[in-house]
């Protein structure tokens, strides 16, 4: 029985053991698999966390924000950058429907847009939209956001939407600013009153405005692609090339060039070309910006002013300055001996004509005499008026002696016929003095040659007038020592006299002051005007002595005049002020005669200040501090009046008569007069205009801000009596 039982139980036990072993193995296998799965899950969690950290790190440094929404339009995820751009809280919107996001979005037309439509929907193709995001907080600035949405597949085959948002406000501001700048530049260029053009590096026009086309007598289309060099005169092209090469070489950034441009009708016009080089972001030259201003009128005005500065305003003849230049040039040329001659001409009895018939008649005669002199020289010499009725002719010829006698005879013949002045016919005669340039006179220079002709002229007058005399060594030449002795003698014997010309208030013609003008009552030559002797004063070295004499006479006159409201102005030059003796003597005279310093006014000739130094500035400052007003005479004719007004203690200006004489018929003179008056008034200076001859001139000056005036309209210079 035991054996019988053992067999079946043994089999069962074996089966049970086998099952247990299999189960154990299965459990161990499953346990191992579970442990492996756990490890894999842990690794996946680690990888997921690592990916999330990288994702968050990437989102923290990128300018783009990311929004992920589900197939049913709910926010699955939102990066911090997206939350910042959209102005929402990340935790508050995850799981919220996109359509319910608290966003106010406007499209390009300013209309409200749905967040669900802007941020995209599942199944829609990739879209990019630019919208304006209106912030919820009041006062905050709206931002411009670029939204790009695209569909992405999910693990469960349900599509999702990935949306990137970028704040492009700054970029849009730059684009708007650039567009505005470009529009402003184009509008400014198209409507600029001066010509403008964009020019490439080959110096060809790429764009031009209407003003430039009108200046050149063409149209804008014709200028595009046209070489700038071909627009200018051939003589100016080399200067253009040199200037542009300097720009391209980095030597300068812009240049300005006065040149001539050729119009479509082949006419030349003066222009000022300003060019600036524009460089790209890499610093390389890109193109030129060119401005072209019409300078024809200003060029003509400059030439007119230059002409006036070198010519007599009444007759149009050369003045003393131009005569000196011509004569100096003639004598400096090789072979000047016996090839240069000077003729001095002075009218006989001209003062009587002025006194009897008036200065208008005298001016008519002077103009007639100027025409006679021009005709006599037939363009073969330089004719000049030095002042009053004194004329000089300079001739250059191989046969100078014969030519100058022919001119002298032609002058006498031309003056033989009476001059018609109004309803009268007045006889005119002239005395002529001739000097031929021998070696001695050429070596001595232009002033000595003029003095020789002057000496011959005086001999002609002494010999009966209406004659011609030629200088020889027997005539006393007014050299510097001789003239100095004559001036000293004239002062000691009261031959120098002071005349006074009234200065009036232009508003009511009331006399407010006088200008002191020196005359020489010469015992042989009669009453000499300043033009006959003042030009030689400085050369003779007696200018300070003469200035002291005139200032002393004026102070004595002021001491005898009880009217403190009137002043007297005295003309002084820079060389007179260079010696402190004149200023010291003047202040002593004012103190001794108890004359208010403000009643004596110094008129400083502008042209004499070209080489003014610190000593002259010191003298002027001393006089101004003592109460003596300083006026700038001949205002507008010097080389640098603005610097004088800035650097010197100037209280007022005196308009040169060359400008007054052109009023009102000369528009250029009128413009200059207005401009100079405005400048003086802006600086709070006294304004005086000289040379007024008629009411029309006085009215024009008064209306344009000139307060005081003087001239023949209000009376000439008269002696104290």
pLDDT tens-digit readout, 138-187: 778 888 888 888 887 766 556 688 888 888 888 888 888 877 877 777 77
pLDDT at 608 over 60: no
Provide the residue count of the chain. Answer: 721
Arithmetic mean of pLDDT over the chain: 82
Predicted confidence (pLDDT) per residue in 371-392, tens digit? 999 999 987 889 999 888 889 9
Can you tell me the distance from the alpha carbon of 517 to that of 539, in angstroms, rounded to the nearest whole number?
20
Among candidates 582, 557, 583, 581, which has minimal Cα distance to 568? 557
Cα–Cα distance between 368 and 317 in angstroms, integer? Answer: 12
Q: Which residues contact 166 (CB under 8 A, 6 or more apart)?
A: 63, 64, 65, 85, 145, 146, 148
Residues above pLDDT 70, as percent of the chain: 88
pLDDT of residue 599: 92
Going by pLDDT thresholds of 50, 70 and 90, the confidence category of residue 610 is very low
Distance CA 303, CA 321 (A): 16
- Please give the radius of gyration of the chain, using alpha carbons only, rounded to the nearest integer: 49
Structure confidence at residue 532 (pLDDT): 65
pLDDT of residue 640: 47
Measured between alpha carbons, how far apart are the two ends of the chain, in Å?
189
3-state secondary structure of 338: coil
Instruction: For residue 392, give both structure tokens.
Output: 């000089």
CB 346 within 8 A of CB 431: yes
Return d(Cα 572, Cα 634) in angstroms, integer: 12
Run of H or E residues at 526 = strand 526-528
Q: Which residues contact 215 (CB under 8 A, 6 or more apart)?
A: 195, 261, 263, 269, 271, 292, 294
pLDDT of 641 over the 60 cut:
no
261 contacts: CB under 8 Å, gap ≥ 6: 215, 216, 231, 232, 233, 268, 269, 270, 271, 292
**CB atoms inside a 10 Å sphere around CB 23:** 10
How far is the CA of 415 from the CAs of 382, 391, 619, in angstroms? 19, 14, 49
Least confident of 255-264, 446-455, 475-484: 475-484
Report the alpha-carbon distance of residue 154 to residue 702 in Å, rounded. 94
Q: E strand or H helix at 641, and its extent?
A: helix 641-647
pLDDT at residue 371, as a whole number: 92
Residue bearing the bigger pLDDT, 541 or 589: 589
* Bigger pLDDT: 226 vs 157: 226
When pLDDT is cut at 50, 70 and 90, the band that residue 407 belongs to is very high
- Reported pTM: 0.41
Whether the predicted pLDDT of 474 surpasses 70: no
Q: Smallest Cα–Cα separation from 695: which of 719, 670, 713, 718? A: 713
Distance CA 225, CA 459 (A): 73
Q: Cα separation of 336 and 332, whole Å?
A: 7
What is the 8-class DSSP label of residue 264?
T
**Res 301 pLDDT > 90:** no
H-assigned helices in 415-542: 439-444, 446-462, 480-492, 534-540
Closest CA to 675 of 314, 301, 194: 301
Per-residue confidence at 9, pLDDT binned at 50, 70, 90? Answer: low
> 482 and 685 in contact (C-beta within 8 Å)?
no
**Cβ atoms of residues 344 and 391 within 8 Å:** yes
pLDDT value at 102 more than 90: no
pLDDT of residue 360: 82
pLDDT value of residue 639: 46
The DSSP secondary-structure symbol of 96 reads S
Distance CA 532, CA 407 (A): 23
Task: Kindly tell me the sign of the dihedral angle through the C-alpha atoms of 543, 545, 550, 552.
Answer: positive
């Amino acid at each position: 029985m035991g054996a019988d039982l053992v067999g079946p139980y043994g089999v069962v036990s074996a089966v049970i053991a086998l099952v247990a072993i299999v189960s154990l193995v299965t459990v161990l296998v499953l346990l191992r698999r579970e442990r492996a799965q756990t490890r894999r899950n842990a690794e996946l969690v680690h990888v997921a966390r690592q990916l999330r950290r990288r994702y968050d790190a990437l989102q923290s440094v990128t300018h783009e924000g990311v929004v992920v929404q589900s197939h049913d339009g709910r926010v699955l995820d939102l990066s911090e950058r997206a939350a910042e751009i959209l102005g929402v809280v990340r935790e508050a919107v995850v799981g919220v429907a996109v359509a319910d996001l608290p966003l106010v979005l406007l499209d390009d037309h300013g209309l409200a847009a749905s967040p669900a439509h802007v941020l995209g929907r599942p199944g829609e193709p990739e879209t990019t939209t630019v919208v304006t995001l209106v912030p919820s907080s009041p006062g905050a600035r709206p931002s411009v956001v670029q939204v790009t949405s695209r569909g992405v597949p999910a693990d469960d085959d349900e599509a999702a939407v990935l949306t990137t948002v970028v704040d492009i406000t700054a970029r849009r501001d730059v684009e708007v600013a650039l567009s505005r700048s470009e529009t402003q530049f184009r509008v400014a260029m198209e409507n600029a009153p001066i010509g403008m053009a964009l020019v490439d590096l080959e110096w060809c026009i790429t764009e031009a405005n209407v003003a430039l086309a009108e200046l050149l007598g063409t149209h804008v289309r014709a200028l595009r692609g046209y070489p700038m060099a071909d627009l200018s005169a051939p003589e100016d092209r080399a200067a253009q090339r040199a200037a542009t090469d300097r720009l391209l070489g980095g030597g300068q950034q812009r240049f300005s060039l006065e040149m001539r441009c050729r119009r479509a009708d082949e006419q030349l016009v003066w222009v000022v070309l300003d060019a600036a080089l524009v460089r790209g972001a890499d610093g390389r030259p890109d193109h030129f910006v060119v401005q072209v201003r019409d300078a024809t009128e200003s060029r003509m005005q400059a030439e007119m002013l230059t002409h006036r500065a070198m010519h007599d305003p009444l007759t149009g003849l050369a003045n003393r300055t131009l005569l000196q230049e011509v004569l100096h040039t003639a004598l400096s040329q090789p072979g000047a001996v016996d090839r240069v001659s000077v003729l001095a001409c002075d009218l006989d009895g001209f003062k009587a004509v002025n006194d009897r018939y008036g200065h208008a008649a005298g001016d008519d005669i002077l103009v007639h005499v100027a025409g006679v002199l021009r005709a006599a020289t037939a363009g073969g010499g330089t004719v000049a008026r030095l002042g009053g009725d004194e004329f000089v002719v300079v001739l250059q010829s191989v046969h100078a002696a014969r030519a100058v006698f022919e001119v002298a005879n032609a002058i006498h013949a031309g003056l033989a016929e009476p001059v018609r002045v109004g309803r009268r016919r007045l006889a005119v005669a002239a005395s002529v003095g001739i000097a031929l340039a021998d070696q001695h006179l050429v070596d001595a220079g232009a002033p000595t040659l003029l003095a020789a002709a002057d000496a011959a002229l005086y001999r002609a007058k002494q010999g009966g007038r209406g004659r011609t005399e030629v200088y020889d060594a027997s005539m006393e030449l007014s050299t510097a020592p001789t003239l100095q002795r004559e001036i000293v003698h004239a002062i000691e014997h009261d031959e120098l006299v002071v005349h006074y010309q009234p200065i009036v208030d232009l508003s009511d013609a009331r006399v407010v002051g006088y200008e002191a003008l020196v005359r020489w009552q010469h015992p042989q030559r009669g009453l000499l005007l300043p033009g006959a002797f003042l030009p030689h004063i400085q050369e003779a070295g007696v200018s300070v002595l003469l200035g002291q004499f005139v200032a002393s006479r004026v102070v004595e006159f002021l001491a005898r005049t009880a009217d403190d409201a009137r002043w007297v102005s005295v003309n002084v030059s820079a060389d007179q002020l260079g010696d402190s003796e004149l200023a010291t003597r003047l202040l002593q005279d004012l103190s001794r005669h108890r004359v208010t310093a403000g009643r004596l006014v110094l008129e400083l000739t502008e042209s004499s200040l070209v080489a003014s130094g610190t000593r002259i500035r010191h003298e002027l400052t001393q006089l101004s501090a003592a109460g003596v007003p300083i006026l700038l005479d001949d205002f507008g004719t010097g080389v640098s009046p603005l610097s004088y007004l800035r650097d010197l203690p100037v209280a007022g200006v005196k308009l040169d008569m060359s400008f007054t004489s052109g009023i009102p018929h000369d528009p250029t003179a009128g413009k200059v007069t207005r401009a100079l008056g405005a400048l003086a008034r802006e600086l709070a200076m006294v304004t005086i205009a000289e040379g007024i001859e008629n009411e029309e001139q006085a009215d024009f000056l008064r209306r344009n801000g000139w307060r005081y005036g003087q001239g023949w309209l209000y009376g000439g210079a008269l002696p104290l009596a």
